[in-house]
Every structure is written in C-alpha cells, then in structure tokens.
Structure 1
C-alpha cells in the first residue's frame, strides 16, 4: 500500500498564506463545516454545509464572489452572489439532483430563523452548488431530502 501524498510533498506551494494546523477549510477562524453522508447500497452521496461565519447570515451578510470554470453545473444562488457580492446563507454542496431539495431546506431554515423574510424584508438567496456523482451513486433515487 502506498502512502497518501500532499501537493506540498512535491515542492509545490499553493498561495502565499501559511496553511492551518489541520490544512482544512475548518482552520479558517469562524468557518464551520458539516457533512451528512447517505450510504445505502447503490446510494452513495451526501450534503456538505460550509458556514462561513457565526451568527445570522441573513442579517449579517458576508462578502462573497464566484468564479465559474465549467459552466455545466446546476447551481442555485450564483447570479445574486455575482451581482451583490454577498452571501446570506450557508453554502451547501450536494449532487446534481439534490440541488432543489438542498435549496428548499436552506430557505426553510432561514425562514424559521428570520420570520420577517418575504414580509418586511426581501427574500433569501440560498447558495447551493453541485457535483454530478452519478458514476458512484444511484442519482435517480433522489435520496437528498430537505
């Protein structure tokens, strides 16, 4: 068995900032990451949540930007992020057919935390991005639920 190698083991350094203790996104102060794995026979997928800052993101929006490399994805929320330069929900990452359910879950969560959304304030922009995992997951099973 071979050992796992990291890119810096080959003398390649990405960026100018030092890496964190664990070399993960969770090393960034204030950022939290959660994950739910759905593994049941042919279903092998999940949802990852990246919470970029503590507190109520709808009330205390954070700066954000997007860059599209492969414009084939089925994202949700990217246009408003590009236009406004802010993020007002956690970022959810899921499979292609899970975007709708993940988006609805984010909206429901934000409505519960902010009863004035859509009444006294504007609407909320859920940020959901995807990866087609159909090669290892029965994507037609639609296992991601809100």
Structure 2
C-alpha cells in the first residue's frame, strides 16, 4: 500500500512539474481576444527589447535584474505612452506617480529584487544621463518594480550591483528572449 502511494505521489509530482513549466497558451488557455505574436512575448511588439542579468554566485545568491526597453532610441527624448495598474499594493514600485500623472515613461522598466530597487533607480538615472542629447537633463523618472526573492536568495546581501543593471540594459534585445529563472525571475 505504501509503495503504491509513493509511486502515485512521484507520478503526480512529475506531472505537476511538467505542467508547471508550460505557458498558459501551451496548455490551451487563451488570455484575451487578440492572437499572440510569433514568440508569444512582449518582444513581439515592434521595437521592444528585453535584457537580463542573472546573478547566481552560490546556493544562497540567486537574484538578478531585467530591463524592458520600449524602443531603441533615447527614451528620455522620445517618451512613450504608459499606464500602470497596481494589482498588489504590497510590492515596491518606483516611478509610478509620474507615469500616472503624465501618462508617459522616460526610462527603461527595470525589475529586480525588493532590496535592490534603489540600486536599479540609481543605474537607470545614470543610463539616462549618459545618453547623447541628455546633457542638460536635471530630473529623471525611473520605473522600477520588484520581485521578492528572499526565499531562494540572500536578499539582505543586496547582490545586484549598478553594473548588473547597466549590463541588462546593454544586453536588451528583440525577438525570443530567455524566460523563467533568469534576470529578476532568478530567485522567485
């Protein structure tokens, strides 16, 4: 009896793990009414690029940062329409007020762990100020969201550094991009 239970539990676990790795559309679940693009990703939108930096230095350091750039130009000079909906008011979300007030965005969207939001803001400001044509810019609104990776990551160590954020921005590309346990999703 116990062997049958253990076997059933193992088979159930394998099935759950396999299903958990599928996307909703792969399982036949359609969200919304519009068809997906070829990659079924945000990068199907023309010009949108995504970059990741994964920081995995040991069993206790699993974190990272993800950058989403709406176009390849100077985002501060060529702002894009934007809106924000907050589904979980417990999360940290920097830059939300200006987006709600003005309806546009002037920086990459950065995602990182809870205690590295400030680091991502600093890197986003630096990225914007270094862009040609922004020599006289005196204020930048960087949009940064967080993921709490404190279970799999030493979150108190704040292992995402400014250079990691800059690397994610530099590495942003269109087309198919890595998904899952990469960038900001590494420790979550």
The alpha-carbon deviation at position 9 of structure 1 amounts to: 4.3
**Secondary structure in 1 matching 2:93:** coil
Larger radius of gyration: 2
Partner of 2:155: 139
The equivalent residue for 2:77 is 59
The TM-score with structure 1 as length reference comes to 0.91
Greater mean alpha carbon deviation, residues 23-32 or residues 41-50: 23-32
- Partner in structure 2 of residue 17 of structure 1: 34
* Structure 1 vs Structure 2 CA RMSD: 1.3
Bigger relative contact order, structure 1 or 2 (CA pairs below 8 A, ≥6 apart): 2
Q: Deviations over 1:30-51 (max 9, x none)?
A: 1000000000111100000000
Q: How does 1:92-107 map to 2 (within 5 A)?
A: 92-107=110-125
SS at 2:77 equivalent: coil
Greater share of helix residues, 1 or 2? 2
Correspondence for 2:100:
82
Matched, 1:32 2:49: yes
Q: Please name the residue that 1:91 is paired with.
A: 109
In the alignment of these two chains, the number of paired residues is: 142
Q: Distance in 2 between matches of 1:35 and 1:19?
A: 22
Distance in 2, Cα, partners of 1:76 & 1:9: 33
Q: Deviations over 1:72-97 (max 9, x none)?
A: 11211011111111000000000001
The alignment partner of 1:117 has SS state of: coil
Instruction: Tell me, in whole angstroms, the C-alpha distance in 2 between the residues paired with 1:111 and 1:66.
Output: 24
Structure 1 gaps, min length 5: none
- Match of residue 73, structure 1, among 78, 81, 91: 91
Q: Does 1:130 align with 2:149?
A: no
Query: 1:6 deviation in Å?
Result: 2.9
Which structure 2 residue ranges, 5 or more long, are not aligned?
A: 1-13, 163-188
Partner of 2:9: none
Distance 2:26 2:143 in 1: 34
Secondary structure in 2 matching 1:98: helix
TM-score by length of 2: 0.72
